[in-house]
Amino acid sequence: MISVAMTTYNGEKYIIEQLNSIINQSLQPDEVIICDDGSTDKTIPLIENFIQSNNLEKKWKLVKNNYSLGFIKNFIKAINLTRGDIIFLSDQDDVFIQNKFQIMIKYFEQYPECVVLNANYSMIDKESKKIENYRIKSPKRSKKIEKLSFQSYLYNSNYPGFSIAFKKNIKKELESLNLDNVYGHDILINLIGLQQKGCYAIPDILSKYRIHTSNTSGVGEVTNDLLIISRIQQKEKELKEYVQLRSFISSNGLSLDKNIIYKREKILRKRILYLQNKNIIFLLGILLFSRTYPKSTILGDIFYIMKRGRE
């Protein structure tokens, strides 16, 4: 049985396009659970009309929260309401490729030890046009399915919720977790998969990730903003998330090596300092000798300095 757990909140602009991408799947889900977190726009009537007009009442269910849960707890609620053996996550503003479910189910069948599967994705803008931008690209993945270690998971850090499918046993683990210091439901699920040594990533691009100002991830719209202060703020946010991640792992007793996070924090603090001082030479040292971050992200730091170094 295949389930989709979807959350919504004031998503009237893009919701129908995403719902259509689910109903047009080559392999249809057995159920779709949609949890709305108190939308005040037309999101709820749009969903209700979509379900009714497509005769989906037996398989699709819209749940309206009595009070706001926030996007993490809302996703957990939607997941807990599913009954499927494999659960797909869906945001309200992205688009699924037509054979996404079919391809990912085949991977689960071929690799029975896999409990969490992360697909690749492309980027689209608010007009649903593919983004061709040197700063925003599809994540680089191995050419074949890859079993992730905690280190390789952190190294790439490109495994968002809408790209994830997982087995139902993950639900029980979610229920027992202390959610303090967690900053994303996708992090939760992947950490459980890593703990169970069954977290995988595939190269197949199976979703279109929409970049716009209302992303819960905080990515925002595609912009030509190359201010160093923007880059520094981005890295400071990343640093804060690593501190939260260490605390979360400790409080939940997960057997994941926190030293890997410490190493990234150490390098990240240096990157922030070098950005503040516009020190390209020291950044080149990190580029040449550090195995903690992909070289492309260090080159990004250098690029910011070169473009805005005189400001």
Cα separations (Å) of 231 from 62, 110, 224, 302? Answer: 39, 41, 12, 11
How confident is the model over 37-65, as a mean pLDDT?
97
Residue % of the chain over a pLDDT of 90: 79
Helices assigned H by DSSP within the chain:
15-23, 43-53, 71-80, 100-110, 150-156, 169-175, 185-195, 228-251, 258-277, 280-289, 295-308
Please answer whether residues 311 and 227 qualify as being in contact, where contact means their C-beta atoms are separated by less than 8 angstroms.
Answer: yes
Q: Name residue 243's beta-bridge partners.
A: none
pLDDT digits (tens, 9 = 90+) for 119-150: 999 999 988 888 876 556 678 788 899 999 99
Give backbone dihedrals phi and psi of 196, rounded to 5 degrees, phi first: -90, 5
CB-CB contact of 42 with 16 (8 Å): no
Q: Check whether 224 has a pLDDT greater than 70.
A: no
Query: What is the reported pLDDT for 131?
Result: 86
Residue pLDDT, tens place only, 144-177 = 999 999 999 999 888 999 999 999 999 989 988 8
The whole-number pLDDT of residue 176 equals 86
Question: How far apart, in whole angstroms, are the C-alpha atoms of residue 36 and residue 11?
Answer: 10
CB 258 within 8 A of CB 249: yes
> What is the pLDDT, as a whole number, of residue 135?
59
Q: What is the pLDDT of residues 231-286, one digit of tens each?
A: 999 999 999 999 999 999 999 999 999 999 999 999 999 999 999 999 999 999 99
- Can you give the pLDDT at residue 77? 96
Q: Tell me if residue 247 falls in helix, strand or coil.
A: helix
- Is the per-residue pLDDT at 76 higher than 90? yes
SS3 assignment, position 239 = helix
Q: Is the pLDDT of residue 311 over 60?
A: no
What is the pTM for the complete model shown? 0.91
Can you give the pLDDT at residue 218?
Answer: 46
Tokens of 10: 């004031």
Looking at per-residue confidence, does 289 or 52 come out higher? 52
